[in-house]
Structures are given as structure tokens and as C-alpha cells.
Structure 1
């Protein structure tokens, strides 16, 4: 694989050289796999969750210990949609133009009500589904489970944005997936999601099908010293320099959200051999300006008061008690009951997140933009 020209990769996973740390989390994931435990990995978006999973797969496949399949359920709307997404990813993973499509895979494709073909644009294997109703999903998942179980090497499948199934119209969606997982104990599962509280509830509430069926790992931001060393190493390797004082500004401005740290460093690395205060400010401004059309449209999603509350929370950055008099008076928000109602809406739409007793905006760039208003 060709090396990236910019070491601060923004999309996908390249190799360990361009992946920062997560050694403890990687060791934990490997231990769970070695002892045949299913796992749950949850973190807010932009924290590096997907890259960690693909790094984990890379390590397993490097020593030919397992075969990894990554499925993203984001955007799926029902069980049939999820079934199609899972089957498609498996065909992409195990179908090869060099070795051909094996008998087992062709049998699987027929079992899930699909036909096989080649994408005319990129030449990769693809399958086309006919009309698949929800009643067909259990049988299709059974065929997928049998196929994965019969692979020579153990298969580990990551289902990303797994909390999406809670929003499916089928009330039995969680139970359907739980039945599937139980039926194939030799297939390992990683369930990952970006809605922390929803993922915790799915696997820790007694009334839910997945209750205590997997080991849970919350993914926090990287330690600053670790990220500092990673950034410095790549700058120095290219004969570039960045003043240590600038790291605090980068880390504070991005709040250590992995993607935004990468984005800032990617732009700085590509612009100059020496980073100064002026360039740092230009990059911060440029990143926000790119998002202004999107952020401006958000206002239409909320009432005037909800938007005002969002702005107040952005300016405060982190609020322990948004219903307290100090916060209400500082931002002229009026009655606590009104704030409570608006806050519930902002949390439901995932614009505000609650971590412990603290409330803050989910998107750091949106927060920085609102702070300028």
C-alpha cells in the first residue's frame, strides 16, 4: 500500500505507523478475542473508535489469527436494511476477483435473496437484493451465521453504530440480533456505537435482550502527552517543527477529539515547515468557515429558545448544573422548567451530551462557531 503524503490521516485506517497509541485498549480487545468473549466499544463520535477497531483487525490478520468484517449500520432504517448491509459487507470481504467466488459464498448469496455481479465503476464484487421483507431476515441471518462459522479461520464481525437498531420499526429488532449471536458462539462480535447512554442501556438493563451478553469498554480521549509525541515525531521526520506551546492551543481548541486534532495537524503539516501563531489561527478559522453553511442550517431544527440555550451551553463549554440559578442568570434563560424541556430536546437530537454530571456540545466545531456569535 502506498504511504500517505500527509501522516495525519483523516479517512479510514492505513497502518500502525499512522495510528496513535490505544495500546491498552488494543490489548483489552485482543484478550477478549483470545478468550472468546463478545465486546462492546462505545464512544462519542470523532473519538477514533472506527480506527481502533480496524487497527485491532489489522493486528489479528497480520498474524493470520482471524478474519475481520466491518459493518456500519448508520443510515439503516429497519431489519431488512441491516440484513442487506451485513450481507453486502461479507461479500465484499470474502469475494475476490483473483480467487473467484467460492461455492460457499455463492450459496450464501442465494440464501439471502440476492444476485452476484461486478461493480462497473471499480470492479469490486457486489450483490443486488430483490424485495426482502422483515419475515425473511431471520433465515438470511442464519445463512450468514453458518457461512461465517464454517470459515477455516475464526471470524470477528464488528457492527458499528449498533444503537441504530433501537430506532427500527420492528419492536423485536434487539431480540432478533440476540438470537442470531447466540446461535453462532464461534463467531466473535464487536458491537460499537457513538451513543454512549444508549449502548450502555442495551447491554446493562435486565429487561433488554443483550443484558450482560458482552464485555463493555468506553473509549475516552487520548492522553495529551501521547498525542504530543505522535505529532512531534511525524513533524520531525519530515524536517518540520512545531513549538510545544502550540500543542496546548491545539488540544484545548479541539477538546482532544481525535478527528479534529488530526484535521488541524493535517492542515498545519501541509502548509509549512514551521508552525507559528498566525498560521494556527488561520487554520482554526478556515476549519470553522468550511462548516458555516451546515451550522447555519441547524437553527431551523430548533425553536428560538432551544437555539439560545445551545448558544449558552457553547459559550460555557461545560456546565455541571444547567438548571442552576448561576447559569440561568448569566445567560438570561428564564425559568428552569423551560430550560429543562429544551435541554431534553437537545440531548435527544444529540447536539448536547451528558457525561456524568456535566453537559456539553457534542460537536466541538459547532461549539467554536457558536462562541463567535
Structure 2
């Protein structure tokens, strides 16, 4: 029997709750509001927004959903390419057999090329009639204005999702790009722009810094953990569907061990399911958490080797002494750092989203990384 727990994008039948979030995000989109969705990585942001888009499309054929993943962006050309191709692909689904001719008039500076496949589907590549090095304003404005014109002309509404939006800050033209986006989208009254990111400090700075173009331009929406009582019900049901048994107490233990972190709740449940013949036991869960830590070890080691010594010292000390105030004498003694050294390391770790504030103190963002650190530095 197939393992019922999902580690990647969550399919319709395996989605666990989020009813409140789905309802709220739908309302924002229907009212053409702009929203910033933020959370740590692997919290289910992409799965959630794709479910929202799918449901909206079913409910209203006049809503055009466009999703763009900006994680691969390393140049302005990448941004223009990904954005224009995503829009063209969705517009192409909405128009008749003459769509190629119509799409070619969608933008002035983007020249699309279509390759029709034997099954009738098509792939798209684009070139640009403008020099991207000198005509950033023209090309990006053309893409955004062309999309808005299409929506208005066809009496539609739309939602444009820009996933991992903080990646544009890595581009040399980033400040100019932010300004172009803000200038254009503030006049788009029938398009909802959804900005998603997992590097929270960078993303939020874009929208909360009064010196940045996006300041106060969007609603800030924090995606939080799925409540324990809801997630444990999903765990129990998934075991039941596959003729296995997980008691409420043990389902709660799975949740607690990884502090309700959505990706790890799913992954730990998946490992537990694999080791279970009929009933989940304490021993199986103990074995499973060690397997889970080892499965993520390479990722944690890669993060660790790219930290400087001060960052490592702060991270290690937070893991081993979670109740110490970070600027206390005890913390400086255990970390071996000065107050200035701690401050500098904390600032960097916050930017990297490796730590976060909680109850006026700091904790490691990734609960499994904390367990890995404790295991690595035991004794």
C-alpha cells in the first residue's frame, strides 16, 4: 500500500485543513488586494496558494491565475523571461485557436515563439526586442501593462503569484525593479498580486522599510503552523486509510517532536508509517526521529559549513541553552563571544532565517536542525 504522507506539493486529497487561510486568501484575491505571504521554508506556502488558485478557478471562470516561481532568478533577463512566459501560458489557455496571433500582440517588447507538440500542447520561448541592459523600465513595464490591458479588455480579474519574490533583491537592478513593480501595480485595480517568500527578514524589509518602493503597498499575511488538534487528526486518518493504527497520544508525540513544523510532521509521519506493520509504537517513533535527523544531515551540514565561527557559536549555544537570554553573561560565557560579536552574528542569522525571535528571546527556526545540533555536539 502506498505511503499516504506527502513531502512535496500536497495533492487535493492529502491537504490538511488550512480552511481559514484558504477563505482569507480567496477574499483578498477576489477584492484585488495585494498580499505578502511569509513563513519559514517548508511551511506549505506553495501548496496552499496553488490550492487557492485551483479552487478560485473552479468557482469563477473569469479569474485568471498566474503563478511564477522566481527562485531560479539570477539576472534581469531571467525575471523578464519567467514572468512573460507564465503570463503567456495562462492567457493561451483562455483564448481560442487563434491564440498564437493574439498572444503575439500581448506585449510590445516581448517576442514569443511557440513549439506545438504532437499532443496539441505547446512550449514557449521568448526573446526581447529591447536591450535589457538599458531598457529595464520599458521591458518590465511592458509585461505588467500588457497583462493589465488584457485583463481589462476581456473584462476579467486576475491573480499574479510571485513565489520566492525576495530573490529579486540578489539582482544588481533590484531597487529599480521594485520601483517599476510598485509604479505599475498600484494602478492595476483588477489584479491581485501575491508575494511569497521564505527568507522572511529580506521579504518583510521590502514591504516594511519606509525607504523602499513597496512600503505599505500590501497586506502582510503570516502563515503559521497547523494547530496540533487539526494536524493530529490528519495523521490518525492517514494511518486509518491505509489499515494502520496511530493513537491520538502518539500522533501528538509526532507533532510535538518536530514542534508542529508542517514539512517535518509529514516527513516524520511518513517514516513512522514505513516502519509500522499495524500499530505505531513509542519505539517506532524513537527510531523514526533518528532516521529523519540523518536524512536531513547533508542539508544541515551544508548550511553549517557556510557559517562563520561566530554564527556557529551563537547557533550552537541557542540549541544547547534555549532559555538563556542571548546577551546575558551566561550566554557570552557559553558562546565565547563578546556582546558585539553576538550582535553581529545574530543580525546575519536573522537575515538567513536560521533564527527567529520568540518571547523576547531567540530560537532556532528549524526544529530538526536544533535536534541535529544537539546530537552533533552532545557532551
TM range (shorter): 0.7 to 0.9
Shift of 1:358: 3.0
CA–CA separation in structure 1 for the residues paired with 2:304 and 2:120: 39
> In the aligned structure 2, how far is the partner of 1:340 from the partner of 1:121?
58
Shift of 1:60: 0.7
With over 3 angstroms needed to count, the CA separation of the structure-2 counterparts of 1:309 and 1:218, relative to structure 1, is same
TM-score under structure 1 length normalisation: 0.87
Indicate whether 1:104 and 2:102 are aligned: yes
Q: Deviations over 1:53-90 (max 9, x none)?
A: 11211221121352321112113134332121112222
Alignment of structure 1 residues 243-254 onto 2, 5 Å: 243-254=247-258
Go from structure 1 to structure 2 and tell me whether the alpha carbon gap of 1:159 and 1:297 turns closer, same or farther (over 3 Å shift).
closer
Counterparts in 2 of 1:197 and 1:347: CA distance versus 1, 3 Å? closer
SS of 1:115's equivalent?
A: strand
SS in 2 for 1:50: helix
Of 46, 58, 62, the residue aligned with 2:58 is 62
Aligned pair count reads: 367
Q: Secondary structure at the match of 2:125?
A: strand
Matched, 1:278 2:283: yes
1:3-26: CA deviation from partner (whole Å, max 9, x where unpaired): x943322222421x3111112222
- 1:126-275 alignment runs, 5 A limit: 126-129=124-127, 133-134=132-133, 135=135, 136-151=139-154, 153-170=156-173, 171-272=175-276, 273-275=278-280
Gap runs ≥5 in structure 1 = none
Under a length normalisation based on structure 2, what TM-score does the superposition of the two structures give?
0.86
1:39 to 13, 35, 40: 35
Work out the CA distance in 2 between the residues paired with 1:262 and 1:161: 22
Residue 302 and residue 94 in structure 1: after superposition, are their counterparts in 2 closer, same or farther (change >3 A)? same
Q: Distance in 1 between matches of 2:90 and 2:340?
A: 52
Of 358, 362, 373, 1:359 maps to 362
Distance 1:293 1:218, change over 3 A: closer
Is the 1:158–1:192 contact (alpha carbons within 8 Å) kept by the matching residues of 2? yes
Mapped contact 2:197–2:203 kept (Cα < 8 A): yes
Counterpart of 1:125 in structure 2 is 123
Contact 1:149 1:187 in 2 (8 A): no
Q: 1:148 to 1:309 in 2, by over 3 A?
A: same
User: Equivalent residue for 1:291?
Assistant: 296
Deviations 1:210-244 (A, max 9, x none): 22222221111111001111111222222211132
| SS of structure 2 residue aligned to 1:192 | strand
Q: 1:314 aligns with which of 313, 319, 329?
A: 319
State the partner residue of 2:20.
24
Kindly indicate whether the alpha-carbon contact (under 8 Å) linking 2:114 and 2:122 is maintained by their aligned counterparts in 1. Answer: no
Q: What is the rounded CA distance, in whole Å, between the counterparts of 1:292 and 1:121 in structure 2? A: 43
CA distance in 1, matches of 2:67, 2:157: 14
Q: Give 3-state SS (helix, strand or coil) of 1:241's partner.
A: coil
Partner of 1:300: 305
Q: Which residue of 46, 51, 74 corresponds with 2:47? A: 51
CA shift at 1:298, angstroms?
3.3
Kindly indicate whether the alpha-carbon contact (under 8 Å) linking 1:13 and 1:54 is maintained by their aligned counterparts in 2.
Answer: no
